[in-house]
Amino acid sequence: MNNCLIAILSLLILTTGLSAQEKDTTTARRIRLDEVVVTATRTKRKIQDIPAQVQVITLKDFETFPVSNIDDILRTTANVAVNRSWGIFSKNSSVTMHGLPGAGRTLILVDGIPKNRIAGGSVNWHNINPDNIERIEIIKGPASALYGNNAMGGVINIITKKPEKNIGGSLEAFYGTYNSAGSSLNLSGNESKNNKGFYWDLNGYYRRGDGYYLDPPAFLDPTDVKTYLKEFGGGTMLGYQFNKTNSLEVAYDYYNETRGAGLKVHLPDGSYESTLTNQVRSRYTGKLGKADLTALVYYSHEKFYGQKESLNELNEYRITDSYTDKNDKGLWITYTDEMFRKNRITVGTELKMGDVNGQDIYRTSTDLIQFHSKMDVLGIFIQDEYSFMHDRFKLIAGLRNDMVRFYDGYQNISEPTNATGFVKGFSENFKNNHWNAISPKIALQYSISPKSQVYISAGNGFLPPDLKDLSQTGKIRKGFRLANPDLKPEILTNYELGYSHVFADRLQISAAVYYSHGHDFQYMIGTGDSVDTGSGTLKPVLKPENIAKIGVMGAEFTAGWILTKTLSLNISYAYNDSRIIDFGSSTINPDKDLAGKYMVEVSPHVVYAGLNYRYKTFTANLNCNYVDKQWFDDENTILVDDYFVANLRLAKAFKKHFRIYFDIQNIFNIAFIDRKGQLSPGRFITGGLQYNI
């Protein structure tokens, strides 16, 4: 980490000297106290009026930060952990918050529409076009009182651009390390006059790369090959503005990707995964009298295919085809009205429905695994925002009731061999199940002054089991997983105290301490058995189970400092002590007791530091991340090493319409092994040219 700090200090000294000669017409901007967000309360509110830790990432931040994937920029935010250790070649990225492991515990929205799959809770960050993003709003801490399941750790809402010009757009091309190349196109228009008329958007992007070896040279064998990447996505949106306050939008998004797994035996493409996604969504925003009304409708279909070939330790050839179809659809309606003089009441309902249907076909043996299941979630919520004592106090209270139904769960194992580890075939229809969860939240903020606020809050998080854990048995990265249709939802209660202050409109600090305790947490437990799944070695048998109690004690700190008119510094730090407090009595493995053990894949310390320089049409960003060690297994016997990376972006606009940039990710070429036991790509250099209309 010392290298990163030295580099930042060097740039700080250099740019401070340059900035001393600047005039008042430079491009620096002061800290904005009136920044407005909508995600925290589903209503427009200034950040300083929200009793929570809130951060906004703007379009300017995107332009100055080295971003290969949209989730890269989330590393700038305290208490948001991003695991994308293979860079652009990663099959997926895990974004977690507030010391909680598992991507399904953080709700990801795009224009208010959930990206988390009901089938597994995961998010495909690749099919979000970074060039189409206007801003990202991040709300930390449990938000289930408003957003229901998946919002246990917090909410990240990605807001896309809305056309403003009569005609606008951009064209971009880039080239980088590992023969990586890509391009993107964005065209948009707004033909409305006097707040009435059509607006539209059309975008597309393409990216490819040869990849790299996932294992260190000393561990390579003839079946190891480089990863590779091919992806294409695009979309279109058509909207109509009826008047100043009422509009309707309809959008369609398409995405197709193929990512190599770094393994090849006989087939030309080796092992790889391919995903095809189609999504349609519609959004209405308007007013009924003085009340605000928002309605969202969406449908998403994901088609997955995976080809996996390998040689086991007995030199036996194995090849498997995996097919999975996932459907997600939903409806969200909110109604907000100032029913009383100081009260703003928001009521609404949300319906989410999802299903998964898949099969694993073993081409080199007789094994066949088939599965399908469905889940519906219906939520009803109410929220009251109340100000009193000359608006010095702000109170937000919310309550949501979620009703969850799991049904049509089925699994079939036909003619098994040691390739799957089953002793004999069977078919099972899982029993239908349903759960009910009530999620309250209350938060009170006191404004010590217009630039200084303190708040206290308490709220619940709620997460039902996902379809994968309920109904899907098969091989996973850590071993062999058994389905558990008896899983129950997990509940988390969080208590938080926070403070923020702005000094002379140039230095802003915010900090929070919190304690979360949860029960019935879903955790992958080793049964004590092992099976041979065709590799020639025994793999542990795992099964998800509701453990008794967990506790997270944490703190975070963020500082943004405008040093000069062109230079700013951002620092963030997060600490989390995430442990199993009481393991209870396991029905899977009665002799197992994990009480006192740390939760897997949670780093106790995460640090970010970034220096931003902007002078006229030139920008520079130098930043670094430190990620502490984390436990790999539930018994806390294997530690994943800590690491840090430093990154740089230099960008220059010229000739009015052109912009060129140069990125270096992992400047010092730090090689580290991730929690999957794979090697990071090391230094990654990219250069690009953009033309803006």
Neighbour tally for 639: CB within 10 Å: 12
Tell the residue number behind the tokens 């090391």, with chain if given: 682
Query: What DSSP letter does each residue of 564-620 carry, written as one string?
Result: SSSEEEEEEEEEEEEEEEE----SS-TT---TTPBPTT--SEEEEEEEEEEETTEEE
Q: What is the pLDDT of residue 10?
A: 55
Query: What DSSP letter does each residue of 398-415 carry, written as one string?
Result: EEEEEEEEEEEEEEEEES
* Token representation of residue 252: 């369609």
CA distances from 599 to 156, 248, 525, 583 (A): 23, 45, 12, 12
| CA–CA dist 259, 271 (Å, integer) | 9
The closest of 157, 155, 150 to 133, measured between CA atoms, is 157
* Token representation of residue 63: 């332009």
**CA atoms lying within 13 Å on the CB side of residue 593:** 6
Q: Residue 248 belongs to what domain range?
A: 2-692
| CA–CA dist 291, 242 (Å, integer) | 17
* Cβ 482 vs Cβ 527: under 8 Å: yes
The closest of 637, 623, 606 to 99, measured between CA atoms, is 606
The amino acid sitting at 361 is I
Q: What is the pLDDT of residue 22?
A: 44
Query: What DSSP letter does each residue of 496-560 carry, written as one string?
Result: EEEEEEEETTTEEEEEEEEEEEEEEEEEEEEEEEEEE-SSSSEEEEEEEEEEEEEEEEEEEEEEE
Beta bridge partners of 684: 665
CA distances from 156 to 95, 437, 483, 590 (A): 10, 22, 30, 39
Q: What distance separates the 2 farthest-apart alpha carbons in the chain?
A: 79
3-state secondary structure at position 470: helix
Tell the residue number behind the tokens 């106090």, with chain if given: 393
Structurally, the chain folds into a number of domains equal to 1
Give CA 379 to chain center in angstroms.
22
- Which regions of the chain are under pLDDT 70? 1-34, 421, 477, 532-537
| CA–CA dist 541, 524 (Å, integer) | 10
Check which CATH number belongs to the domain holding 291 and give it: 2.40.170.20
| 3-state class percentages of the chain: helix first, strand second, coil last, to nearest 5 | 10, 60, 35
Q: What is the pLDDT of residue 12?
A: 54
Residue 557, φ and ψ in degrees, nearest 5: -145, 135
Cα torsion 390, 391, 393, 396: sign: positive
Rounded CA Rg of the chain: 25
| CA–CA dist 111, 123 (Å, integer) | 15
The closest of 256, 268, 334 to 301, measured between CA atoms, is 256
- H or E element, residue 205: strand 197-209
* Token representation of residue 202: 């059309």
| CA–CA dist 473, 544 (Å, integer) | 11
